[in-house]
Amino acid sequence: MRLTSFTDYGLRMLMRMASAPDRVYSTAALANEFGLSRAHLSKIMQQLAQAGIVETRRGGGGGAKLARPASELRLGQLVSVLEADQALVECFGPDKTRCTIDMQCRLKGRLASAKNAFIADLDRSTLADVALSEPLSFA
């Protein structure tokens, strides 16, 4: 299974945030640290906030921090939130596109089972288990 860059970047941000959970992180600082687009990270942060994973605040001293302890955030849950808009295959998508072999397909069930096993395996670990070490300085 290949995760999207959206999920990859989201996990990187969360791993950094878990390294100092009481600190408020700006998307600009995170974008600078990881060499990524601030606009892209803002979209990811918005999705994480809507899911209740991070809390955000605007204005001076604004930014985001984890809404719950990293030890309570399961990796499978995080991946599920970040991959929510991405179907593993077309027939799993929100449009329920009609597949020409749907009536005789035996692959769909196996793919769903494999995806569930993947998420369940990730859920054996928490964000605290993969938190990054604190960098020497922040941008």
Overall number of domains in the chain = 1
- Looking at residue 84, its pLDDT comes to 86
Q: How far is CA 59 from CA 28, 53, 63, 103, 138, in A?
A: 13, 20, 8, 54, 19
Q: What is the residue range of 120's domain? A: 5-128
Asked if the structure places residue 135 within a domain, the reply is no
Task: Record the pTM.
Answer: 0.84
Q: How far is CA 57 from CA 10, 26, 47, 126, in A?
A: 18, 10, 14, 25
- Looking at residue 2, its pLDDT comes to 81
Give the pLDDT band of residue 129 (cuts 50, 70, 90). very high
CA angle 139/51/1 to nearest 5° reads: 85
Asked if the structure places residue 138 within a domain, the reply is no
Residue 105: pLDDT over 90:
no
Residue 123: pLDDT over 80:
yes
pLDDT in tens, 38-65: 999 999 999 999 999 999 988 777 899 9
Residue 68: pLDDT over 90:
yes
Asked if the structure places residue 136 within a domain, the reply is no
